């Protein structure tokens, strides 16, 4: 009996699926010239570690959601109630956060390739924790702005967490693991604004105190339960040439499949900005919805996102494969945004939500394919590059979609089409669907050791 057979025999029922993780796996792409698959390293306490990564990302999204309802009020309190000035400052805060994500996500991803995932994830937890406490204490607008800069810098849990899940998950199961990360986004998005609104009703600084405490407690918990996932022999030297945004994106540019899927992602991330920046204005203008109605509909978006990420990705990918699942997700997203834009009643928009949220299947499928295209020592760099694309969309998307919306309604509008922003988002996903058809990686096949 060989070593792998010994490992499978010794696996306990509690570690269901871990035995097959010990079997070397390989991508069917370009074999045998390119085979970046290695025996998956199973750190002690893998189940607790995976749960910690899930909780970390959930708490990060929860914290971001918690401060969303109160940050405008806190900014306004420093500007003597100047509404227009507060709105401009809020836009600056959002842009700065996205810029910091764009520049520093690849840096922190590359640092995780050099020093391991554990220290970077813990740094993110403690950094965000102290940062939220700084924002809660902030006696002036400048201090609040500094806190927002730091939060953009230290919010590395997503790319590093994705790299961690890649380290400990075999290729054929990565789409499901990434789907759980998407579910964590959804859960935080559902609970965050609601909790932030309740706490903010007591004191607008209270959500910051709570967010900081949760991040610090999670960091302390991680000190005890989070093992390292990246083995020393799979680490790579840190290089500013690779760690800057241009250098990290060069990794994507040099690989045809990575470049194609990165193009799909950036178009999708840009389309998402329509939901983040126009949805509330659109629902108010077109349907006259109250804050409560808008909040409940956004909660429905998050519920479907979490449900699809946790419960649909795995069976769908198993049945049709990652590439087809990616196409289904992009098609659903394009149709959903089209239904949003065509909505003359709130009912059509609500019916479009479960269709739109099929996008939750697209992202993990794309990133699962991409993860097989790079070496273990480059996973952090690649995930950092993907997060940079998200940051880039966060820089240009808000301006783009709010401008489209402002030019498409009202008596002075050059053309009257209140749903124009969603039509553009749908068009971006149609383009991304076309690009996805040009990317033809083979599906993952497990290679059983003999």
pLDDT for residue 2: 40
C-alpha–C-alpha distance, residues 91 and 75, integer Å: 11
Total H helices, total E strands in the chain: 20, 0
Q: What is the DSSP string of 395-435?
A: HHHHHHHHHHHHTSSSTT-SS--TTHHHHHHHHHHHHHHHH
Q: CA quadruple 134, 137, 141, 143: dihedral positive or negative?
A: negative
pLDDT for residue 350: 92
C-alpha–C-alpha distance, residues 198 and 113, integer Å: 40
Residue 301 in tokens: 């978006």
C-alpha pair distances (Å), 188 with each of 6, 59, 65, 128, 311: 41, 7, 7, 15, 17
Q: What is the dihedral of CA 14, 17, 21, 24, to 10 degrees?
A: 140
Burial class (CB in 10 A: 0-12, 13-18, 19+), 84: exposed
Q: Which residues contact 363 (CB under 8 A, 6 or more apart)?
A: 178, 182, 265, 268, 329
H or E element, residue 96:
helix 83-115
Domain residue ranges in the chain? 44-227+239-438
C-alpha–C-alpha distance, residues 429 and 333, integer Å: 7
Partners of 26 in the β-ladder? 445
pLDDT for residue 265: 92
- Give Rg (Cα) of the chain: 22
What does each of the 450 residues of the chain score in pLDDT, given as a tens digit? 443 334 333 333 333 333 333 333 333 333 333 444 444 455 555 566 777 888 888 877 787 778 777 777 788 788 776 666 676 787 788 788 888 878 887 788 778 888 888 888 888 889 888 888 998 999 988 898 888 888 777 766 677 888 888 888 777 788 888 888 778 777 777 778 778 878 887 888 898 899 889 889 888 888 888 888 888 877 877 777 776 777 667 778 778 888 999 999 999 999 998 888 788 788 888 888 876 787 788 788 888 888 898 889 989 998 998 999 999 999 999 999 999 999 988 898 999 999 999 999 998 899 888 888 888 777 887 888 888 888 888 888 888 888 888 888 766 667 778 889 999 999 999 999 999 998 876 554 443 333
pLDDT for residue 170: 79
Please, what's the largest Cα pairwise distance for the chain?
79
pLDDT for residue 244: 72
Strands (E) across 270-404 are located at none
CATH superfamily name and code, 44-227+239-438: MFS general substrate transporter like domains (1.20.1250.20)
């Amino acid at each position: 009996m060989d070593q792998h057979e010994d490992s499978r025999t010794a696996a306990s029922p509690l570690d269901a699926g871990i035995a097959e993780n010990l079997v070397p796996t390989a991508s069917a792409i370009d074999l045998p010239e390119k085979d970046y698959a290695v025996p998956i390293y199973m750190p002690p306490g893998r189940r607790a570690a995976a749960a910690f990564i899930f909780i970390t990302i959930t708490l990060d999204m929860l914290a971001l959601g918690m401060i969303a309802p109160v940050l405008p009020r806190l900014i306004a309190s420093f500007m003597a109630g100047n509404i227009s000035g507060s709105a401009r400052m809020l836009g600056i805060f959002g842009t700065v956060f996205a810029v910091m994500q764009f520049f520093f996500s690849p840096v922190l991803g590359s640092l995780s390739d050099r020093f391991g995932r554990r220290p970077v994830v813990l740094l993110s937890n403690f950094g965000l924790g102290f940062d939220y406490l700084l924002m809660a204490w902030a006696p002036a607008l400048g201090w609040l702005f500094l806190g927002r800069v730091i939060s953009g810098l230290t919010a590395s849990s997503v790319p590093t967490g994705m790299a961690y899940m890649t380290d400990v998950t075999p290729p054929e199961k990565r789409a499901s693991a990434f789907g759980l990360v998407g579910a964590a986004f959804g859960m935080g998005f559902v609970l965050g604004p609601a909790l932030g609104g309740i706490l903010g009703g007591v004191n607008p600084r209270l959500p910051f105190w709570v967010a900081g405490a949760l991040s610090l407690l999670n960091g302390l918990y991680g000190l005890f339960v989070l093992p390292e996932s990246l083995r020393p022999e799979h680490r790579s030297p840190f290089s500013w040439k690779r760690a800057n945004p241009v250098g990290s994106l060069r990794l994507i540019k040099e690989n045809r499949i990575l470049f194609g899927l990165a193009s799909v992602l950036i178009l999708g991330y840009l389309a998402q900005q329509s939901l983040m920046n126009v949805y509330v204005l659109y629902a108010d203008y077109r349907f006259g919805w109250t804050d409560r109605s808008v909040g409940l509909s956004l909660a429905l978006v998050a519920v479907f996102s979490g449900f699809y990420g946790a419960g649909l990705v795995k069976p769908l990918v198993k049945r049709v494969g990652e590439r087809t699942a990616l196409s289904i997700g992009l098609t659903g997203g394009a149709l959903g945004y089209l239904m949003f834009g065509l909505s003359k009643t709130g009912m059509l928009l609500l019916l479009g939500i479960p269709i739109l949220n099929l996008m939750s299947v697209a992202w993990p499928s794309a990133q699962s394919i991409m993860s097989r295209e790079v070496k273990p020592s480059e996973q952090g760099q690649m995930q950092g590059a993907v997060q940079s694309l998200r940051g880039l969309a966060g820089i240009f998307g808000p301006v783009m979609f709010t401008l489209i919306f402002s030019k498409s309604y009202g008596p002075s509008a050059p053309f009257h089409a209140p749903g124009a922003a969603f039509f553009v988002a749908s068009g971006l996903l149609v383009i991304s669907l076309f690009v996805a058809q040009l990317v033809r990686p083979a599906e993952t096949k497990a290679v059983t050791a003999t």
